[in-house]
């Protein structure tokens, strides 16, 4: 009889990672990933899902590809049992659903025999999700009142097939074969041999739910030849049935304006969520390559002293969201709120900077129509004489000097304070250079001059000179000038220097 360990942390949780799109992960799966001490994950589990893990969680890759297994199944079972016996909450992250062709049942039986507590968190299987993303309904009134999940790759050690081909071929519903691309000709032949009409519609869906999704359609007697001509490879599903005919009208995912475009984001990891989310929503395959990291100044003393003497300033100027964030953090640390800023007029460059102020109950007195320092300077001058006026600028350590210089020339007294620093992000994606050289990158985005400089530093000037036909998008004129200084030809620059403006410009570029 299996023994039961008393410590409830000694447990393995089988978690279904879903079909590929990280947004299709369940809430319960996220909860366990956030609490796990150990995460043992598969090849088909999207890496972005691992971002939910604790920073100090032990991550162990045991992925399997055709012909290449990191560990055999019995050793994976032993590994999971070993980690659980260390009194560590262990998550076994499996692509799709653990119990649908995922060998989750074998792992659970091993836990039972070893006396290890276990739990199973279902995942959305590709047999449902990939069809939806390909515009193919699994069931449809009048055409398919049943759906069958069938393995296309049986256990090679079995003496004979366990599939009842006459029964399968006789089904009038939708047939979905997993892991069957290698055996596609045999599957088609068996279906036709046992009565399936040669003109039955068939679809192949590769990398379902991801921006690199590929779909081809044909008939039972032509699909194998089409797959060979297009060099169609695994991982993919085979869908057989009348429902495939609906793809022409129901295909929505592959019609997104940025579908399949591989776009690199270079802004700081903590700030890339808005750009990342908007590009992904439009179908892009986004690679995060943060080139900068936002950090506090080496000393907060100067900023704290400026806050203490805030009533001595006439204007408080914010030129970025980061400047707002770090200034308000120190304001709150000193137990002040927005009322403390009452005597001072506040100006902000750009709608994002202004919006961050408003989110904290501070409404700017001035926000120029253009999102550059020159526009702010012009707007301030229209407010009246600035001779003798005192200005406080909490901003980046190495910000452009034009605003300070021009205000000073006009007779203003300017106090520039370092509110934050931008430093080179040392954690880089090693394979990005290779992807660029292979022509696998469509577009690179730059949202500040520092992202350009650091990108060149990380990639290398020699590689940049040999950059193939990759489109460059810059958020504004200053960033564009910096890119051109390093020999990068900027093809895209929005009229509105904002993230939504940049995204719109990218969409318009590819629509043309």
Count of domains observed in the chain: 4
Domain boundary among 200, 233, 253: 253
Place of tokens 């079972």: 77
* Choice among 41-50, 154-163, 289-298, 393-402 with the minimum mean pLDDT: 154-163
Q: What is the pLDDT of residues 304-361, one digit of tens each?
A: 999 999 999 999 999 889 999 999 999 999 999 999 998 899 999 888 899 999 999 9
Judge whether 351 lies within some domain. yes
pLDDT band at residue 375 using 50, 70 and 90 as cut-offs: confident
Buried b / exposed e over 141-161, threshold 16 CB at 10 Å, is eebbeebbbbebeeeeeeeee
Residue 354 is encoded by which pair of tokens? 């202004």
pLDDT of residue 471: 93
Residue 144 is encoded by which pair of tokens? 């398919």
Together in a domain, 419 and 495: no
Residue 23 is encoded by which pair of tokens? 């947004």
Q: What is the DSSP string of 240-256?
A: ESGGGGGHHHH--GGGS
- Is pLDDT at 93 greater than 80 in this prediction? yes
Together in a domain, 433 and 460: yes
Together in a domain, 202 and 308: no
Together in a domain, 390 and 463: no
- For 178, phi and psi rounded to 5 degrees? -95, 145
Domain at 247, CATH number: 3.30.950.10
Together in a domain, 385 and 451: no
Domain boundary among 100, 124, 148: 124
- Is pLDDT at 155 greater than 80 in this prediction? no
Residues designated as active site: 42, 64, 179
Judge whether 308 lies within some domain. yes
Together in a domain, 113 and 224: no
Together in a domain, 51 and 165: no
pLDDT band at residue 108 using 50, 70 and 90 as cut-offs: very high
Which one, of 97, 65, 93, lies nearest residue 80 by Cα? 93
pLDDT of residue 8: 52
- Is pLDDT at 370 greater than 50 in this prediction? yes
Q: Are 510 and 504 in contact (CB under 8 A)?
A: no
- More confident: 337 or 65: 337
* Choice among 133-147, 203-217, 227-241, 440-454 with the minimum mean pLDDT: 440-454
Residue 177 is encoded by which pair of tokens? 């074969």
Of the CA atoms within 13 Å of residue 111, those in its CB half-sphere come to: 24
Range of the domain at 249: 128-253
Place of tokens 């256990």: 155
Together in a domain, 441 and 405: no
Judge whether 5 lies within some domain. no
Judge whether 271 lies within some domain. yes
Mean pLDDT, residues 486-505 taken together: 92
Residue 343 is encoded by which pair of tokens? 């005597």
Judge whether 224 lies within some domain. yes
- For 58, phi and psi rounded to 5 degrees? -85, 120
Together in a domain, 57 and 86: yes
Q: Are 291 and 427 in contact (CB under 8 A)?
A: no
Domain at 409, CATH number: 3.40.50.10090
Strand partners, 294: 422
Q: Are 173 and 241 in contact (CB under 8 A)?
A: yes
Together in a domain, 457 and 505: yes
Q: How far apart are CA 355 and CA 365, in angstroms?
A: 13
Judge whether 163 lies within some domain. yes
Judge whether 6 lies within some domain. no
Judge whether 304 lies within some domain. yes
Domain boundary among 399, 423, 447: 423
- Is pLDDT at 435 greater than 90 in this prediction? no
Strand partners, 94: 16
* Choice among 45-54, 181-190, 273-282, 310-319 with the minimum mean pLDDT: 45-54
Residue 174 is encoded by which pair of tokens? 């939708």
């Amino acid at each position: 009889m299996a023994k039961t360990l008393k410590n409830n942390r000694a447990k393995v949780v089988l978690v279904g990672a879903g079909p590929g799109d990280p947004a299709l992960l369940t809430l319960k799966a996220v909860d366990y990933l956030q609490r796990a001490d150990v995460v043992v994950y598969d090849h088909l589990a999207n890496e972005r899902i691992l971002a939910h893990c604790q920073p100090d969680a032990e991550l162990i890759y045991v992925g399997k590809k055709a012909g290449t297994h990191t560990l055999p199944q019995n050793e994976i079972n032993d590994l999971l049992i070993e980690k659980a016996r260390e009194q560590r909450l262990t998550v076994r992250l499996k692509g799709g659903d653990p119990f649908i062709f995922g060998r989750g049942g074998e792992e659970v039986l091993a836990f039972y025999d070893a006396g290890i507590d276990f739990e199973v968190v279902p995942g959305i299987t590709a047999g449902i999700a990939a069809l939806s993303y390909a515009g193919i309904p699994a069931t449809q009134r009048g055409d398919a009142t049943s759906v069958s999940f069938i393995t296309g790759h049986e256990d090679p050690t079995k003496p004979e097939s366990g599939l009842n081909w006459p029964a399968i071929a006789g089904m009038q519903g939708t047939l979905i074969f997993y892991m069957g691309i290698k055996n596609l000709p045999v599957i088609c032949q068996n279906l036709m041999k046992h009565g399936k009409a040669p003109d039955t519609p068939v679809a192949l869906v590769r990398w379902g739910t991801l921006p690199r999704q590929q779909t081809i359609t044909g008939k039972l007697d032509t699909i194998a030849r089409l797959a060979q001509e297009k060099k169609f490879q695994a991982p993919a599903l085979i869908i057989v049935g009348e429902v495939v005919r609906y793809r022409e009208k129901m295909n929505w995912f592959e019609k997104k304006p940025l579908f399949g475009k591989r776009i690199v984001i270079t802004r700081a990891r903590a700030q890339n969520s808005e750009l990342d989310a908007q590009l992904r929503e439009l179908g892009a395959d986004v690679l995060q390559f943060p080139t900068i990291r936002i950090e506090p100044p080496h000393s907060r003393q100067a900023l704290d002293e400026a806050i203490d003497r805030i009533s001595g300033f006439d204007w408080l100027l914010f030129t970025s969201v980061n400047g707002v964030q770090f200034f308000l953090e120190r304001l709150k640390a000193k137990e002040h709120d927005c009322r403390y800023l009452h005597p001072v007029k506040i100006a902000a460059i750009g709608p994002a900077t202004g919006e961050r102020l408003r989110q904290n109950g501070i409404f700017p007195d001035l926000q120029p129509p253009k999102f550059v320092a020159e526009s702010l300077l012009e707007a301030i001058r229209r407010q009246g004489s600035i001779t003798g006026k005192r200005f406080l600028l909490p901003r980046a350590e190495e910000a452009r000097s034009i605003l300070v210089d021009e205000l000073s020339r006009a007779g203003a007294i300017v106090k520039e304070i370092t509110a934050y620093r931008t430093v080179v992000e040392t954690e880089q994606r090693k394979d990005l250079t290779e992807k660029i050289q292979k022509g696998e990158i469509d577009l690179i985005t730059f949202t500040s001059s520092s992202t350009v400089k650091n990108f060149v530093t990380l990639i290398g000037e020699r590689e940049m000179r040999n950059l193939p036909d990759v489109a460059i998008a810059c958020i504004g004129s200053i960033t564009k000038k910096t890119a051109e200084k390093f020999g990068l030809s900027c093809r895209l620059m929005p009229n509105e220097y904002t993230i939504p403006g940049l995204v719109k410009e990218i969409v318009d570029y590819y629509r043309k």
